[in-house]
Structure 1
Amino acid sequence: MVAESDGSATRLLGIAAALVVVLAGMKAAEEFLVPLALACFLAVLAAPAVIWLQSRRVPEMGAVLVVVVMMGGLMGGIVALVGGSINAFADAVPRYQARLDELFSSAVDLAEAQGLSLGMLRDAIQPGAAIGLAGRAVGQFASVLSNAALVMLTVVFILFEVTVIPAKLRLALGDPDADLGRFTKVVDEVNAYVVIKTYVSAATGIVAGVFVAVVGVDFPILWGLFAFLFNYVPNIGSIMAAIPPVLLALIQFGPGEAAVVAGGYTAINLVAGNVVEPRLMGNKLGLSTLIIFLSLLFWGWLWGPIGMLLSVPLTMIVKIMMEHSSQFRAVAVLMGGPPKSD
């Protein structure tokens, strides 16, 4: 019994040590792995279109070419739309930070003139940091766009492998009749989540962009893109997307317009997150709220804003693979949502 216990402890320590090494490697290889993960994300999104075209007797080369050209055109359109805004906003970030810090200091001075002691608050809070964070997020997005050619080339090679992956997996498993249920489930569930989330995020981004343009906030296309991208980030994504335009409205116009922008974003995200998305998605996610939040923190720490965007699909993959492992099935159950009532 003691020997068995020692063996289990040794195995657990070995798994923990291997996990630390893998995570350290993933952190160190961020510049390589982030574009690769993004390419896999796009390939999962595009694979059904390639398979559908091939079912209509379009040759493999033609099917992949059509889908990649469409994706490339979409990415090119995004670059054309927001490229100028990204550069202009990056140049304006120091000015916005200084103005926001000035407004905050004025508000603290006014409060202190009324007898309130807020010296510690002045030292603890740096409102300009929020604009700086937005600038860094824009910078990472621009870096990803600069690697767009590499990402798209990786997508092409993945799509060429789509139709032969099942045969390769069966060959690797040494069983021509092997059940590939776990792999099929990974692809189907991740694809269903990504497609629905993309539709909802696109609608959210368009509505948010039009709204801030009507209010008159600078860079409305950029904030629409922010709303689209950060809608993929669970729990806090909508808040993160709203902070920069709200602060910018405060800088440009004052607290009244900032409150209008905050209220508009709240309404948009309440409808998208609590009405539209649950109706379309149902129980497809299969993850508990706590796990979603923890995965957001983990992947955000590991790979930054792009890791946040991919946190749910990556965690879904881990959970589904654990479901098909006798050793980790209990962990997968704990990661899942509430059990269904009979």
Structure 2
Amino acid sequence: MRDQPVPRTLVILVGVAAAVIALFGIREVASIAGPVVLALVLVIAVSPVRGWLAVKNAPVWLQVAVPFLIVVLVLLGMVGILTISATQLASLLPAYTTEFQQLLVDAQQWAAAHGVSDEMLGKGMQAFDPGKILGLVQSLLGSLIGVLSALFLIVVLLLAMCLDAPVTAKILTSGEHSRPQLVKALATFAHKTRRYLIVSTVFGLINAVLDMVALSLLDVPLPLLWGVLALIANYIPNIGFVIALSPPAMLALLDGGVQTMVLVIAAYIVINVVTQSFILPKFLGDAVGLSTTMTFISLIVWTFVLGPLGAILAIPLSLLTRALLIDSDPNAKWVQALVSGKRPRGERQIS
């Protein structure tokens, strides 16, 4: 009696169930998984430095130390800037309590003049409680303390991965004969991740500098904090622009009124449209290899699994998942086309 083939529906259901179990499992150890992935991505980002030193026949300890120190200095610099700026923000916000209350009164009068009910006004005023904003700042400071506590783990992981990088590269090279598809998929993942990080960092720095200049010209407080926020939010697909814009626009409203807020929003939109919509695609091109829908789904999934760090690492995590589950399988070309949003070459489009 011949074995009956397993129904494809059952295979899909089992695969989805396994994915859900794996994601919830990773979520339970997010405090460890997040730093591990961040350290891996950072090591991949600075791997060309190690490669350049290897070509120059530099000692092995130098090939390890230089990339490690570059990453650590960048991390310490960003954490230091965020900590100081967030502390300044927490001490600055109470000074705007009067302006906030007056803003609510003006909004209430305007809404009443346009026929908005008192019940809706009451709910709106409760939603814009100044105490909630202060609570948000306190939670931000708490998150920074969490980053500081995890920084030791990240640094240790970085050192371990940098020490293992030369050996890992040789092991992958030796596996080209036995598992060529997997080795090629991992190499493609590293290349795409590195290109994505480099291009996003360069354009994030450009955005951050331009935003800081615009905020300084408009006399919005703490332009350095909002510039760093714009740089970090640049790694968050789809909604990063909104995250970077909301706090300085709100502070501009409290500090300079509606006109200043409108000018801040206009400046951010112009800078974002020019750099992200016109210039960035020409440099990044199809390096990521993910469709718009898959990018947005990746953002939702990895934010759910790893929290805010998952939002920042959504693209690298999705590229790693694609490399391990799709690109390493020679029979999954149609899935590659589905994920990237491009139909395979030589196949007719179904209409």
State whether TM-score is above 0.5.
yes
CA distance in 1, matches of 2:45, 2:101: 42
* Cα contact 2:87–2:141 (8 A) shared by 1: no
Equivalent position of 1:86 in the other structure:
86
1:165 lines up with 2:154 in the alignment: no
- Cα displacement string for residues 12-47 of structure 1 (whole angstroms, at most 9, x for unaligned residues): 443333222211111111111111111111111111
Equivalent position of 1:38 in the other structure:
38
* Cα contact 1:217–1:249 (8 A) shared by 2: yes
1:190 lines up with 2:193 in the alignment: yes
- Cα displacement string for residues 185-215 of structure 1 (whole angstroms, at most 9, x for unaligned residues): 1111111111111111111112212321222
**Structure 2: stretches of 5+ with no match in the other structure:** 347-351
**Counterparts of 1:113-262 in structure 2 under 5 Å?**
113-117=113-117, 119-120=119-120, 122-123=122-123, 126-127=127-128, 136=139, 139-169=142-172, 178=180, 180-262=183-265
Deviation at 1:247, TM superposition (A): 0.3
CA distance in 2, matches of 1:93, 1:302: 32
SS at match of 2:307: helix
One-letter code aligned to 1:115: G
Identity of aligned residues (%): 25
Deviation at 1:133, TM superposition (A): 5.5
Deviation at 1:241, TM superposition (A): 0.4
Deviation at 1:301, TM superposition (A): 1.7
TM-score, normalising length from structure 1? 0.87
- Cα displacement string for residues 152-210 of structure 1 (whole angstroms, at most 9, x for unaligned residues): 22112112222222443467x69568462112111111111111111111111122123
CA distance in 1, matches of 2:36, 2:316: 14
CA distance in 2, matches of 1:142, 1:206: 26
* Cα contact 1:130–1:243 (8 A) shared by 2: no
CA distance in 2, matches of 1:174, 1:340: 25
SS at match of 1:235: coil
Deviation at 1:98, TM superposition (A): 8.9
Deviation at 1:312, TM superposition (A): 1.1
SS at match of 2:277: helix
**Aligned with residue 300 of structure 2, among 294, 297, 303:** 297
One-letter code aligned to 2:74: L
Structure 1 residues 178 and 298, CA gap change in structure 2 (3 angstroms): closer
1:281 lines up with 2:297 in the alignment: no
- Cα displacement string for residues 36-73 of structure 1 (whole angstroms, at most 9, x for unaligned residues): 11111111111111111111111121122122223322
CA RMSD of aligned residues (A): 3.1
Equivalent position of 1:70 in the other structure:
70
SS at match of 1:285: coil
* Cα contact 2:245–2:265 (8 A) shared by 1: yes
One-letter code aligned to 1:268: I
CA distance in 1, matches of 2:51, 2:250: 45
Q: Which has the higher contact order (CA 8 A, sep 6+)?
A: 2
Deviation at 1:341, TM superposition (A): 8.5
Deviation at 1:149, TM superposition (A): 2.7
**Structure 1: stretches of 5+ with no match in the other structure:** none
SS at match of 1:147: helix
Structure 1 residues 3 and 13, CA gap change in structure 2 (3 angstroms): farther
Deviation at 1:295, TM superposition (A): 0.9
SS at match of 1:293: helix
Structure 1 residues 54 and 166, CA gap change in structure 2 (3 angstroms): closer
Equivalent position of 1:324 in the other structure:
328
